Amino acid sequence: MTAYVIRRLLYGIPILLGITFLTFLLFHVVGGDPARMQAGKMLTEARLAEIRHELGTDRPMLDQYLEFLRQTLTFDFGRSWHTHRPVREMLLDGMGPSLALAVPAFFLETVLALAFALWCALYRGTFVDRTIVVLAVAGISVPSLSYIVFGQYYAAHSWSLFPVYGYEPLPAGAVFLALPLIIWVLLGLGSEVRFYRAVALEEIQQDYVRTAAAKGVPARGILFRHVLKNSMIPVLTRVVISIPTLILGSLLIERFFGIPGLGNVTVEAVNASDFPVVKGFVVMGSVLYILFSILTDVLYAWVDPRIKLR
């Protein structure tokens, strides 16, 4: 297993290099001129040249890209062009609010999706199954922004059940995270239920399940001791590969609710052409996805001893 992990890590190096190259290329081709954005009303050629020199964008493209690679290897992306704070500090500060929202939302979403999926599998083809499927499809069909606008206008503004906007650290900030958490769960629950339902239906039709039912094993035992246990590989794949998105935050929810997480930080950086912050976010996200994809494969062998890592 150690040799397999090392080999996968080495395979991840060209992937990371490709991602850094595309990020660098897109920023310099379509990202605009950050010097013009920072110059404001003082838009003179002398001022633009001075800002470009300060930011280092007047250097040859190859030198800038090699500097980007050095920063990627050291995880030191310098200071933000917009806020002048260290990028590493900004990313670490944003990680706390993102996780405070994402972890409980993801846990609740996963538990509810698995419960509904097993219920559908148990009562497959009945009114209960069809009702849950229809509600799941309807939830997927509603645009993400509609949940946020509806929640802010009715639940927060009209009914005064939650704050409309703002954030405070936990535990005092739980009231600010309640509505974003509910919206996060509603946004992802439909697709999760459909995925886990398909997995559970495939497993519940196996011969060993019919044998267990014929022997008198109760429905709860069949669902949890057999169906759920033998469905763990696709479940693990879905759960583990989603963990990087929890750390990186939700761009839309954090932006609309004023949560200073990584998603909000990244949106502001893109709007301000703040390349150091964008670089840090992209590299961190890429590394997380590579690491957790490897972790997923390792967990396969742990869940199912028949799987050998080669």
Has residue 74 been placed in a domain?
no
Which of 22, 45, 63 is where one domain is finished? 63
Per-residue pLDDT at 172 exceeds 90:
no
pLDDT tier, 290 (very low <50, low <70, confident <90, very high otherwise)? confident
Per-residue pLDDT at 306? 62
Segment 3-9 shows an average pLDDT of 81
Per-residue pLDDT at 39? 67
User: What is the overall mean pLDDT for the chain?
Assistant: 84
Segment 275-293 shows an average pLDDT of 87
135 or 57, greater pLDDT: 135
Per-residue pLDDT at 105? 92
Q: Are residues 131 and 54 in the same domain?
A: no
CA distance linking residue 30 with residue 253, whole number of Å: 26
Domains: count for the chain: 2
Which of 14, 48, 63 is where one domain is finished? 63
124 contacts 116 by C-beta, under 8 angstroms: no
Has residue 11 been placed in a domain?
no
CATH number of the domain enclosing 141: 1.10.3720.10
Has residue 218 been placed in a domain?
yes
183 contacts 211 by C-beta, under 8 angstroms: no
309 contacts 295 by C-beta, under 8 angstroms: no
Q: Are residues 295 and 160 in the same domain?
A: yes
Has residue 310 been placed in a domain?
no
Q: Are residues 37 and 165 in the same domain?
A: no
65 contacts 56 by C-beta, under 8 angstroms: no
Q: Which amino acid is at 283?
A: V
Per-residue pLDDT at 291 exceeds 80:
yes
Per-residue pLDDT at 271? 80
**Domain containing 39: what range?**
33-63
Per-residue pLDDT at 183? 92
CA distance linking residue 26 with residue 52, whole number of Å: 18
Segment 280-289 shows an average pLDDT of 88
Per-residue pLDDT at 104? 92
Which of 18, 45, 63 is where one domain is finished? 63
Has residue 5 been placed in a domain?
no
**Partners of residue 25 on adjacent β-strands:** none
Q: Are residues 205 and 157 in the same domain?
A: yes
Q: Are residues 227 and 108 in the same domain?
A: yes
Q: Are residues 40 and 109 in the same domain?
A: no
Q: What is the pLDDT of residues 140-170, one digit of tens each?
A: 888 888 889 999 999 888 888 888 888 888 8
CA distance linking residue 100 with residue 247, whole number of Å: 10
Q: Are residues 40 and 184 in the same domain?
A: no
Q: Are residues 112 and 38 in the same domain?
A: no
Q: Are residues 121 and 268 in the same domain?
A: yes
Q: What is the pLDDT of residues 89-127, one digit of tens each?
A: 898 888 889 999 999 999 999 999 999 998 888 888 889
Q: What is the pLDDT of residues 88-99, one digit of tens each?
A: 889 888 888 999
Per-residue pLDDT at 134 exceeds 90:
yes
Retrieve residue 36's tokens. 């013009």
